[in-house]
Amino acid sequence: MIFKVEGSRIRSALLAFALAGTASATFLPVTAAQAQTRTLPDFTDLVDQVGPSVVNIRTIEKVAQRGSSPEMDEEMQEFFRRFFGQPMPGAPRQGPRQNRPQQPPQEEERPRGVGSGFILTGDGYVMTNAHVVDDASEVLVTLTDKREFKAKIVGADKRTDVAVVKIEATGLPAVRIGDITRLRVGEWVMAIGSPFGLENTVTAGIVSAKQRDTGDYLPFIQTDVAINPGNSGGPLINMRGEVVGINSQIYSRSGGFMGISFSIPIDEAIRVSEQLRINGRVSRGRIGVQIDQVTKDVAESIGLGKAQGALVRSVEAGSPGEKGGVEPGDIITKFDGKPIEKPSDLPRLVGNTKPGTKSTLTVFRRGASRDLTVVIAEIEPDKPAKRASNDREEPAAKATASAAAKSLGLAVSDLNESQKKELKLKGGVKIEAASEGAARAGLREGDVILAVSNTEVANLKEFESAISKADKSKAVSVLFRRGEWAQYALIRPVR
């Protein structure tokens, strides 16, 4: 049997039942923490406060319109004349083709997409995602009071996915910017945007993680706030009504929300927006090194301790890194005194440094740390790495496979002068054959060994000396070059 009862009556009935059944029970005092867990957040005031600052963004693109051409009209008319003895019905009379002026191609405006944004300043600066306005020929901004404006794109930065557009209006309700350092995992947050074109849609959730590294230029705020296509560019708002992020990405296998969304931290976005408003573009620093992760095994084998820093795999010729003395195989552990915990920390710190600045790199090399000074350059498109070709002009040096080298599965030879010049190396030994432990470690013919167990090797003699001193009962660390890339390998003894 199904009963339909008003909610207030249900609550009264339950309360009476509870009081009747527990008349003799002893009630324990409710702590503040327990009371807080029983109270769900109320977002109504936040919506009233921040809602008017959130805008809907529509973009339009112009595409070439495929209309009927005079040539096709003439062909159809010729068809009718030949087979029916009359011109095509309703067709205007056409003069000779050569006497008709060429019609210019026509463009058609088509809706491109819908996104969100929020008002940064009362005089009309609006922040959104770069991918919302990318390649748009026209941007239309609609306020909550239904006023619509054509917006000018001030600047867009694809690396951070931040864009700023400007509308001609004054007295607009601007958002308040929050302090990202106060944002805590587990904190309630709210999003307002236009998912699937549905304007002024409010969703809420909690902060799932901070500093989430997704391989992009910025560390993201991860939340479980429902974000869908059209939410892009909208604000992520804390319980104080402050914007703490820009909703930018979702993790999805279906194209829709699956419980994981990512937002750009507002402090990083504001830094980018200021450059866009002043210069129309973002200037970033670079030092010209290619980096990789430092594994736990490598860190322990070379005496670094814990797995941290960024392993330098190659150094661009003529770059600030090369001029400052950075070498392939170095592990950068600090930038201007700030620790590098993982490889992605380095490009973010360098990128936020003004070009022309003198900065200090702390590198771990051959078992010891040292400081290097580099002058930061401005970032530019990455250059493709050149692979070193095998030199055939000079006779190859005779390979050697001593007992020590054989125990690691290696046969090596000295580099000739052409190979050193091409690889820009002062020395090293070239692997002629790799088997057993060396092969399992990933070494192969053509690789160049630069160091063994933190000892630099310039030639066969130094290589043999370093191998003979290495503890064969433990994994032997080998720094090697493959083309222009440097990396470590751990050759484990055969047990």
| 98 phi/psi in degrees, rounded to 5 | -70, -15
Whether residue 39 lies inside any domain: the answer is no
6-42: pLDDT as tens digits: 344 434 444 444 444 444 444 445 555 555 555 788 8
349 and 420 part of one domain? no
Same domain for 483 and 459, yes or no, is: yes
Set 232, 319, 344, 359: catalytic member: 232
Q: What is the mean pLDDT of the chain?
A: 79
Asked whether residue 291 falls in the same domain as residue 274, the answer is: no
Let me know whether 290 and 272 are in one domain.
no
Average pLDDT for residues 404-415, to the nearest whole number? 81
Give me the phi and psi of 302, to 5 degrees please: -100, 5
From CA 311, how far away is CA 320, in angstroms rounded? 17
- Report how many helices (DSSP H) and strands (DSSP E) the chain contains, helices first: 13, 27
- Within this chain, do residues 263 and 322 fall inside the same structural domain, yes or no? no
Question: Is residue 212 domain-resident?
Answer: yes
Active site residue 402: no
**Is residue 428 predicted with pLDDT exceeding 90?**
no
Of 279, 304, 322, the residue that ends a domain is 279
Pair 185, 269 in one domain: yes
The C-alpha atoms of residue 456 and residue 421 are separated, in whole angstroms, by: 18
Residues 261 and 290 in one domain: no
Residue 331: which CATH number?
A: 2.30.42.10
163 in Cβ contact with 281 (< 8 Å):
no
Residue 131's region, left for phi above 0, alpha for psi from -120 to 50, else beta, is: alpha
pLDDT digits (tens, 9 = 90+) for 154-207: 999 988 899 999 999 999 999 999 999 999 999 999 999 988 888 889 999 999
Q: With a cut of 70, say whether residue 265 has pLDDT above it.
A: yes
| Residue ranges in 51-171 assigned as alpha helix (H) | 70-84, 130-133
- How many Å apart are CA 11 and CA 17, to the nearest integer? 10
Q: What is the pLDDT of residue 108?
A: 62
Is residue 473 a part of any domain in this protein? yes
Retrieve residue 62's tokens. 């112009």
Domain carrying residue 274: 176-279
Q: How confident is the model at residue 384 (pLDDT cuts 50, 70, 90)?
A: very low
Distance of CA 476 to CAs 166, 292, 407, 458, Å? Answer: 60, 20, 11, 18
Mean local confidence (pLDDT), 409-433? 84
Shared-domain flag, residues 328 and 374: yes
- Residues 446, 390 contacting (CB under 8 angstroms): yes
pLDDT of residue 253: 65
With cut-offs at 50, 70 and 90, classify the pLDDT of residue 452: confident
pLDDT of residue 391: 41
Instruction: Return the half-sphere exposure (C-beta side, CA atoms, 13 A cut-off) of residue 426.
Output: 6
Look up the CATH number of the domain holding residue 225. Answer: 2.40.10.10
Instruction: Report residue 375 as tokens.
Output: 């002058």
Residue 312: predicted pLDDT: 92
Catalogue the E-assigned strands of 120-200.
Answer: 125-128, 138-142, 148-157, 162-166, 176-177, 188-193
* Coil/strand/helix, residue 349: helix
The answer to whether residues 210 and 274 belong to one domain is yes
Catalytic-residue membership of 131:
yes
Closest CA to 148 of 133, 177, 130, 168: 168
Whole-number Å distance between alpha carbons of 152 and 159 = 20
pLDDT (tens digit per residue) in 299-343: 888 888 888 999 998 888 889 999 999 998 999 999 999 999 988
Per-residue model confidence (pLDDT) at position 456: 87
Cα angle 334, 338, 340 (rounded to 5 degrees) comes to: 50
How far is residue 21 from each of residues 13, 14, 29, 101, 345, measured CA to CA in Å?
A: 12, 10, 19, 95, 60
- Indicate whether 315 and 258 sit together in one domain: no
Within a domain: 204: yes
Percentage of the residues of the chain whose pLDDT score is greater than 70: 74
Number of compact structural domains in the chain: 3
5 pLDDT band (50/70/90 cuts)?
A: very low
pLDDT of amino acid 306: 87
Does the residue 117 lie in any domain?
no
Residue 267 has pLDDT above 90, yes or no: yes
Among residues 161, 330, 345, 447, the one annotated as catalytic is 161
Active site residue 232: yes
pLDDT digits (tens, 9 = 90+) for 44-102: 999 999 999 999 999 987 766 655 444 445 555 554 444 444 454 444 444 444 555 55
Domain-terminating residue out of 279, 295, 325: 279
CA 125/CA 370 separation, integer angstroms: 46
pLDDT digits (tens, 9 = 90+) for 269-290: 999 999 999 888 888 899 999 8
Sorting pLDDT into bands at 50, 70 and 90, what band is 389? very low
What does the pLDDT read at residue 359? Answer: 95
Do 410 and 487 reside in the same domain of the chain? yes
User: Domain boundary residue among 253, 279, 305?
Assistant: 279
Q: Which two tokens stand for residue 466?
A: 């370093």
* Domain membership flag for residue 461: yes
Q: Quick check: 398 pLDDT over 60?
A: no
Query: With contact defined as beta carbons under 8 Å apart, do 273 and 164 qualify?
Result: yes
Catalytic residue among 73, 123, 131, 224: 131
> At 459, is the pLDDT very low, low, confident or very high (cuts 50, 70, 90)?
confident
At residue 4, the 3 state secondary structure works out as coil
Instruction: Examine the domain organization and report whether 257 and 193 are in the same domain.
Output: yes
User: 106: buried, middle or exposed (CB in 10 Å: 19+, 13-18, 0-12)?
Assistant: exposed
Q: What 3 state SS string does 264-298 have?
A: EEHHHHHHHHHHHHHHCCCCCEECCEEEECCCHHH
pLDDT of residue 369: 92
pLDDT 10s digits, 127-153: 999 999 988 889 999 999 999 999 999
Whether residue 162 lies inside any domain: the answer is no
Does 347 fall in a domain? yes
Mean pLDDT of 97-123: 72
